[in-house]
Structure 1
Amino acid sequence: MDPLLALAITLAAILTPVTLGYAGLCWVKPFTTCRRCAGTGRTTTRVLRRPRACRRCDRGLRLRAGRWIYNQFARLHRESTR
């Protein structure tokens, strides 16, 4: 067996479950906690350390990147088939 073919098969066998697992996670749980505010929805200013609303999220949750990509493709499909 060709070593490059064996490497390609091994790589495909590893990446397929990882990709399908992430797609399933994006379908079941599309939101994740915000990394900047740790899910609280509030951050502090740099100078005075006053609390304020987090700029990256509204309520401590952010849309996953995979779900955002899926939403973009779904919107494009929906608009093109009208």
Structure 2
Amino acid sequence: MTLTMLVAAAVAAYALGYSLLCFISPFGPCRRCDGTGNHISWWDKHRARTAPAAKPKRRIRKPCRRCKGTGARLRIGRRIHNHARRLHADGTR
């Protein structure tokens, strides 16, 4: 087996695994709020990392804007799938 075939097989296996993950679990945790749904300011996160002995303030001011407070986001692969399905449906009408 040549190196290019090995790389192609690895890429195909990764793509198949990711598409299966997007099919089974289309939502992943929000990166901005770490899946909590609550916005924590960057200063509070910084204080929690630099001074672990200090009790971090957990003042929740508002829900996360990126996920609208749900704590979940639609995976990129699922967005691509939804777009392709919508494009196909619009083109065959």
| TM, length-normalised to structure 2 | 0.74
- How well do the aligned residues superpose, as a CA RMSD in angstroms? 1.8
Other-structure match for 1:64: 75
Q: Which amino acid aligns with 1:30?
A: P
Structure 1: give runs of 5+ residues left out of the alignment. none
Query: Over residues 55-81 of structure 1, what are the superposed CA-to-partner deviations in whole Å (9 max), with x where a residue is unaligned?
Result: 110200000000000000000000110
Other-structure match for 2:90: 79
SS at match of 2:35: coil
Runs of 4+ in 1 over 4 A off after TM superposition: none
Structure 2: give runs of 5+ residues left out of the alignment. 44-58
Q: CA deviation at 1:9?
A: 0.5
Q: Quick one: distance in 2 between partners of 1:50 and 1:40?
A: 11
Higher relative contact order, structure no. (Cα contacts within 8 Å, ≥ 6 residues apart): 2
| TM, length-normalised to structure 1 | 0.83
